[in-house]
Amino acid sequence: MAKKTEKKMTSWDIVQIARHAERPNITSYIETMCDDFVELHGDRFFGDDRALIGGFATIGGEKVVLIGHRKGHSVEENIDANFGMASPEGYRKAMRLMKLAEKFSLPVVSLVDTPGAYPGCEAEANGQAEAIAHNLEFMARLKTPIVVVVCGEGGSGGALGIAVGDRVLMLQNAVYSVISPEGCASILWRDGSKAALAAETLKITADHLLKLKIIDSIIKEPVGGAHKKPATAIAAVKKAVLAEIAKLKKLTLDELVEERYQKFASMGRF
C-alpha cells in the first residue's frame, strides 16, 4: 500500500499557523529558553509599552539583551499587550536596551511577532514613524551582534523596527511581510476575501524569503506548527540563536557593522 503523502501547505495555511493563539510567545521563550531574565521598563521619555518588552537574559550561559513583541494566549493577555502592536515608547524602550547591550558588549536577541505597529491616533501623535525610523538607523550601526528571529507574524515597519540584524532567522511557519494579506487584498482588489491569493502573491513564507535572501536561515518546527510541541520549537530556536552568536563573535566590531550594512543594502538587487 502506498504511503499517504502529507498535503502541501499553502501560504494562507501558514498564515493561520503563524497566528495560532497557542503559538509560543515571548513569555514562553523567556520561561523555557532563558536561564534568567531581568525585565527593564520604560523609554525614559514617555512611558512603558507592554506590547514590546525586553531586558537582560542568559541563554545557555550566554549573557544577552533580549527584546521582542509580546502577544498573549488569551483575550485578556492580548488586550494587556495590545495584541503585540507596539507604540513609539516600545521602540524607544528597545533602542534604550540596545544601547545598554552595546555599552556592556552583550549580543542582542530580538524576537519578532507582531501584526504591525499600533496605528492609533495617540501613537501617530507621539511619533510612531520617527521612532521606527530612528531604530532602523540606530540598529544599522550598533556595535554588537544582533540575532533576529521571526517567531510568528512579522508585520511591516512594526516588525522591522527591531529586525535589523546581522542574522535574521525565521521559524518554518512564520510569516514576514510589508503588509497583511487582508490589507493587501483590500488595496489591490478592494476585496478582503482574496486574502489567500494575496498571501501567495506577497511571498511571505520562510521558503520564499530565504530564496529572496531576505532571511538567512529557517528554523524547523514540529509537524503541524510550534504550538503542537512548544518546548521542541523553543529548543530549536535556542540552539540556532546560540550558534549564530558564536559565529558573530568571531568578527571585529567594524566587520560586524560593515557586513550588516552590506546585507541590507543588497536586498532587492536581482
Domain residue ranges of the chain, discontinuous segments joined by +:
11-260
Q: Which pLDDT tens digit goes with each residue over 186-214?
A: 999 999 889 999 999 999 999 999 999 99
Give the residue-averaged pLDDT of 77-99. Answer: 92
CATH superfamily placement of domain 11-260: 2-enoyl-CoA Hydratase; Chain A, domain 1 (3.90.226.10)
Instruction: Look at 120 and 111; give whichever has higher pLDDT.
Output: 111
Q: How buried is residue 19: exposed, middle or buried, by Cβ count under 10 Å (0-12/13-18/19+)?
A: middle
The Cα–Cα gap between 174 and 87 comes to 22
pLDDT at residue 228, as a whole number: 95
pLDDT tens readout for residues 38-52: 999 988 888 888 999
Mean pLDDT for 156-185 is 94
Helix spans in the chain (H):
11-18, 26-33, 75-80, 88-103, 121-125, 128-140, 156-160, 181-188, 195-202, 206-211, 230-248, 253-265
pLDDT of residue 269: 76
pLDDT at 1 over 80: no
